[in-house]
């Protein structure tokens, strides 16, 4: 774990090293993924089944690619009542927040008399990738599928791997709650390829969203352009700005809530109190051995964790913007004042009683967020990822007469005579 202080003369150099730290733990897989995609494009279902049987230790056949309605029914019925209620509450809150994002169409008539506008329409078909096996995330189903449904997407196809033939019942129950009925028991690069290019059994989609391992991420990168994607997600991260009024153990657990995701995850505390920094560091050390994922959390904290001591919160906000974290917690007396200074963060959590973990499950905003400092230019998943904009222009003779001559002049200046003539003919020139 790194300890830095802005008061130290070598701080800037040390902070730049922290910013440039490579946290990816997997080697390049682009050649392997390229071969898988090519094989799926050539052989369709047969290739998907072959790779799935090899990688997920199955004996899958074409008629078993799609999860049946009866299987989804049984999985949903098997969920304990309290867990089903929690899933429903999360889904209800996520849907309410995302429906509130829906934009209105735009239509104006300007001074020249032209009618100008923009119309929003939903994508036709979307593919949702959900991790399976040891990592089963029903929350990912809700966060990816519900915004698509809220946007009005007509078809949502979900792929989830089932190593050794095992599907997590809560993942299927989440699919049912999110309104997804088309579910396939496949994963990896072959699932991404099937969604992008289609097979005899799986119709192609227009956009693929959802997290996955290095092979899934690389496959999404390679099919981008033929279909849309949400992002290439990296290891999770959190930055916490906390003053000494906080309980050190709460802050420590919040840091470890990110560290337990992955050995490459990163958790950073920024504080103005050296004594509090020491207390949090001690609390982290005491908490790690108590976690079921202690080996993962400990490795993350040791390799990528950091505590930064600052002189004031203005300095802290500036450092946070340079980190542009996926998650930012402001555990401060006046979080809104510091939040007003923040420009780059995937999601911000205000106050001591709004831990990032509540955003992962139940708050409402999406937990699919930009990582690896990409919050400088990217945003979290929303209904806008499942909508597209179409602009339109309408003009009569009078309106064209007012703006057309300028367009003719610009077209001629660019040497595009047919462009100029297209307008000039309508102007009687």
Active site residue 419: no
Phi, psi dihedrals of residue 141, rounded to the nearest 5°: -60, -50
To which H or E segment does residue 107 belong? strand 106-109
Give domain 2-23+235-363's CATH superfamily: Nitrogenase molybdenum iron protein domain (3.40.50.1980)
Q: To 5 degrees, how large is the angle CA 143–CA 148–CA 150?
A: 95
Q: Which of 257, 97, 90, 102 is nearest to 170 (CA)?
A: 90
Active site residue 327: yes
The predicted-structure confidence for 347-395, as pLDDT tens digits, reads as follows 999 999 999 999 999 999 999 999 999 999 999 999 999 999 999 999 9
Residue 23 has a pLDDT of: 74
Q: Which of 356, 348, 387, 367 is nearest to 142 (CA)?
A: 367
**Selected catalytic residue, list 95, 237, 260, 326:** 326
Q: Is the pLDDT of residue 428 over 60?
A: yes
CB within 8 A of 167, min separation 6: which ones?
67, 71, 75, 132, 160, 185
Q: Is the pLDDT of residue 246 over 60?
A: yes
Residue 326, both tokens: 């996926």
94-105 average pLDDT score:
98
The reported pTM is: 0.93
The predicted-structure confidence for 289-339, as pLDDT tens digits, reads as follows 999 999 999 999 999 999 999 999 999 999 999 999 999 999 999 999 999
Residue 27 has a pLDDT of: 60
Residue 240 has a pLDDT of: 98
Residue 370, both tokens: 């930009």
The predicted-structure confidence for 400-422, as pLDDT tens digits, reads as follows 999 999 999 999 999 999 999 99
Phi, psi dihedrals of residue 134, rounded to the nearest 5°: -60, -35
Residue 337, both tokens: 């004042």
Q: Where in the chain is the domain with CATH 3.40.50.1980?
A: 2-23+235-363, 30-111+122-229
Give domain 30-111+122-229's CATH superfamily: Nitrogenase molybdenum iron protein domain (3.40.50.1980)
CB within 8 A of 10, min separation 6: which ones?
none
Alpha helices (H) in 324-385, listed in sequence order: 335-339, 356-361
30-59 average pLDDT score:
95
**Selected catalytic residue, list 98, 261, 304, 327:** 327
Residue 76 has a pLDDT of: 97
Give the whole-angstrom CA distance, residue 399 versus residue 412: 21
Task: Say if CB 328 and CB 345 are below 8 A apart.
Answer: yes
């Amino acid at each position: 774990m790194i300890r830095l202080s802005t008061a130290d003369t070598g701080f800037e150099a040390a902070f730049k090293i922290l910013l440039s730290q490579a946290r990816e733990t997997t080697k390049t897989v682009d050649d392997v993924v390229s071969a898988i995609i090519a094989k799926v494009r050539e052989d369709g279902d047969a290739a998907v089944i072959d790779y799935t049987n090899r990688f997920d230790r199955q004996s899958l056949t074409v008629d078993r690619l799609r999860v049946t309605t009866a299987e989804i029914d049984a999985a949903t019925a098997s969920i304990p009542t309290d867990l089903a209620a929690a899933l429903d509450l999360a889904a209800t809150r996520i849907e309410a927040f995302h429906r509130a994002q829906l934009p209105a169409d735009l239509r104006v008539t300007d001074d020249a008399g032209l009618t100008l506008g923009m119309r929003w329409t939903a994508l036709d078909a979307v593919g949702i990738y959900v991790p399976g096996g040891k990592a089963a995330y029903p929350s990912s189903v809700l966060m990816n599928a519900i915004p698509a449904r809220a946007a009005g997407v007509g078809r949502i196809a979900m792929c989830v791997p089932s190593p050794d033939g095992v599907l997590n019942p809560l993942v299927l129950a989440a699919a049912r709650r999110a309104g997804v009925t088309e579910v396939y028991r496949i994963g990896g690069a072959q699932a991404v390829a099937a969604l992008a290019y289609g097979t005899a059994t799986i119709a192609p989609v227009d956009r693929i969203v959802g997290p996955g391992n290095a092979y899934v991420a690389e496959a999404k990168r390679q099919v981008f352009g033929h279909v849309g994607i949400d992002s290439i997600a990296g290891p999770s991260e959190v930055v916490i700005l906390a003053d000494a009024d906080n309980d050190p153990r709460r802050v420590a657990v919040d840091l470890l809530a990110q560290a337990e995701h992955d050995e490459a995850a990163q958790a950073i505390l920024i504080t103005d109190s050296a004594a509090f920094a020491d207390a949090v560091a001690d609390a982290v050390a005491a908490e790690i051995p108590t976690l079921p994922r202690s080996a993962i959390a400990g490795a993350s904290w040791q390799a990528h964790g950091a505590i930064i001591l600052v002189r004031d919160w203005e300095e802290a906000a500036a450092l946070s913007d340079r980190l542009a974290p996926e998650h930012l917690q402001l555990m401060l007396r006046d979080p809104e004042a510091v939040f007003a200074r923040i420009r780059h963060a995937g999601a911000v959590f205000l106050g001591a009683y709004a831990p990032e973990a509540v955003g992962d499950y139940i708050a409402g905003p999406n937990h699919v967020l930009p990582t690896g400092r990409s919050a400088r230019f990217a945003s979290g998943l929303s209904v806008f990822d499942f909508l597209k904009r179409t602009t339109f222009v309408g003009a009569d003779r009078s309106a064209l007469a007012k703006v057309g001559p300028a367009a003719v002049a610009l077209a001629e200046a660019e040497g595009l005579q047919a462009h100029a003539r297209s307008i000039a003919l309508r102007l009687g020139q």
